[in-house]
Structure 1
Amino acid sequence: MKTLRFCLAAIPALALTAPAHAYWEYGHQTVAQIAYANVTPKTRAAIRRLLAQTPQLDTPTCPATTIEGASTWADCVKPLKNADGKPRFGYAYNWHFQDVNICAPFSLEEACKDGNCVSAQIKRDVAVLRDHHASGKDKAQALVFLIHFVGDLHQPLHAGEKGDKGGNDVAAAYGEYSPRRFNLHSIWDGTLAERAITSGPSLVRRYSPAEKARIARGDVDDWSRESWQVAHDVVYASALKGDPCGPSPAKVTLDEATIEKIVPVARLEVERGGLRLAKLLDRALG
């Protein structure tokens, strides 16, 4: 089971002192902003109405009345406790990822057993949003989960791994930056994601119908396989300098040449997440 890690990545050096398990704020917010910019006006109005109902979720320390707040709500609520001291949202822990072995044929059967994986919950949230009998509170919660989980699915180490807790067990250096507890997962979660998002023109814009059709094609299972393939072909291959299924060294280093090579891939994953989220939202609410 993956180690619970989430941080507010305003400053990477601070963020790395605490564990996390999702895109840092910037990645999730950017995915959400891309989606919001590309849904239909009708869908955008429906999103605003549902976000206005999120105070019913009774999580005042994790406001979700904006698209940016909604994008990080599912991580923000992880530490919240019930009166008995147990995690209030502990049931959703496994919904943020799916541990599909990159060194075996692709299959969601075991990783998504009993629906406890990110792709299964994306489908569930869409179904709740489309259910005319669902309450406003249930729809509001489904919306904020959906916004977050689509972002998670497009972080490749949430979709594929090789028995190392999604890269959490792989110590790593990012260029010359190698603080204690830095690992392969945290690189793709934050440092690399932030660099990718800020490289080149803004990803938050209106995309053409042709761009949206090309980037958002397929369904959730297709996207799961694609993200798993990126984990195999890019994440582990670049970290291990060759065979992604070879033995992992005690520590891997992503040098500057490697970082430059994989930045476009990380950037595309954010773009894919945003436009595919827009597609799902239009289908559910538009």
Structure 2
Amino acid sequence: MFKNICTLFLFMSCMLHSTFSYAWGITGHRVIAEIAERHLNRKTLKKVQKLLGGKPMAYYANWPDEIKSDTLKIWDKTFQWHFINFSQGLSFDEFSFKLKNYPTENLYSAIQKCQETIKDKSALTKDKKIALLFLMHIIGDLEQPLHIGREKDLGGNKIKLQWFSHPTNLHSIWDSKLIDYYKYSYTEYASVLDTNSKDQNKVLSKGTLEDWIYDSYLLATRIYSELNSYKKLDYEYAYYNKEILENQLLKGGLRLAKLLNLLFNT
């Protein structure tokens, strides 16, 4: 997938600006990247900075969303890399089986593909860079619960709602509107969230990739089930979902750091 298109990378990075809804929004993905970068060990940080040309991870955190605006359509297949939808009520074993046997490319398969490219000693530097950019972003996507949402409503995209009396949908609320409600810059939010002890962070980042995706799947189930308990979505909804939102952002950063530390130290 990466070969024969990477020569256009710098050109596309400069010219593309997306106008549609981002996963976690621009701020959310930068928060996750910023937290992750703070938890990279020295060896990993050096390798990551070399691939990114010395720029911080947050600079590229939204690139996989921005390229959705590419009118040349060379990145169209990567659209499926940002999510994976399931029916509800699956046990972990049922979920794991379906995850590993999903019929199309998806968030789970994309993460594995990016990991393989980064670990491949024969891979070109430009391919490793693009794999890193996608990996940084997609690990963030998997912590947005509705990116592991229901098949029938496409992760809440078909559930039309009002957010502070403005028309939107459930997916968009969790992508960006809840985060934007608090009006933090990405560095401010990263600093507010990244205050745990090392032992607390180990608990949040433990588990396998399958565990992490299933965690979000269960949270999506909770979000769906609680939706009808709110007469309207505004201050109350933001208040009662703040802890979930912030835990997911923090976990995204810590888990991304864990993954990168493993990849770049083997």
After TM superposition, the score normalised by the length of structure 2 is 0.82
Cα RMSD over matched residues?
2.5
Provide the secondary structure at the position in 2 that maps to 1:133.
Answer: coil
Q: Which residue of 2 aligns with 1:3?
A: none
Task: Decide which structure has greater helix share.
Answer: 2
Q: Does the C-alpha gap of structure 1 residues 207 and 115 become closer, same or farther in structure 2, counting only changes over 3 Å?
A: farther
Quote the Cα distance in structure 2 between the aligned partners of 1:272 and 1:196.
Answer: 19
Quote the Cα distance in structure 1 between the aligned partners of 2:183 and 2:251.
Answer: 12
| Cα deviation code 1:43-92 (max 9, x no counterpart) | 11111101129xxxxxxxxxxx431222101011111133xxxx110110
Q: Which residue of 2 aligns with 1:178?
A: 165
Q: Partner amino acid for 2:166?
A: P
C-alpha displacement of 1:124: 2.0
Q: Equivalent of 2:95, from 107, 111, 129? A: 107
Quote the Cα distance in structure 2 between the aligned partners of 1:197 and 1:214.
Answer: 28
Gaps of 5+ in 2: 1-18
Establish whether residue 260 from structure 1 lines up as the match of residue 249 from structure 2. no
| Cα deviation code 1:258-281 (max 9, x no counterpart) | 321111101100000000000000
After TM superposition, the score normalised by the length of structure 1 is 0.77
Q: Which has the higher contact order (CA 8 A, sep 6+)?
A: 2
C-alpha displacement of 1:134: 1.2
- How many residue pairs get aligned? The number is 241
Provide the secondary structure at the position in 2 that maps to 1:100.
Answer: coil
Q: Which residue of 1 aligns with 2:76?
A: 90
Q: Does the C-alpha gap of structure 1 residues 40 and 204 become closer, same or farther in structure 2, counting only changes over 3 Å?
A: farther
Kept in 1: contact 2:22–2:176 (CA 8 A):
no
Q: Does the C-alpha gap of structure 1 residues 140 and 156 become closer, same or farther in structure 2, counting only changes over 3 Å?
A: same
Quote the Cα distance in structure 2 between the aligned partners of 1:96 and 1:200.
Answer: 23
Identity of aligned residues (%): 28
Quote the Cα distance in structure 2 between the aligned partners of 1:240 and 1:155.
Answer: 20
Quote the Cα distance in structure 1 between the aligned partners of 2:217 and 2:248.
Answer: 12
Establish whether residue 67 from structure 1 lines up as the match of residue 57 from structure 2. yes
Q: Which residue of 2 aligns with 1:76?
A: 66
C-alpha displacement of 1:170: 0.7
Q: Partner amino acid for 1:20?
A: S
> Mean Cα displacement is larger for which, 44-53 or 114-123?
114-123
C-alpha displacement of 1:104: 4.2
Establish whether residue 241 from structure 1 lines up as the match of residue 229 from structure 2. yes
Gaps of 5+ in 1: 1-17, 54-64, 243-251
Q: Does the C-alpha gap of structure 1 residues 41 and 203 become closer, same or farther in structure 2, counting only changes over 3 Å?
A: farther
Establish whether residue 271 from structure 1 lines up as the match of residue 257 from structure 2. no
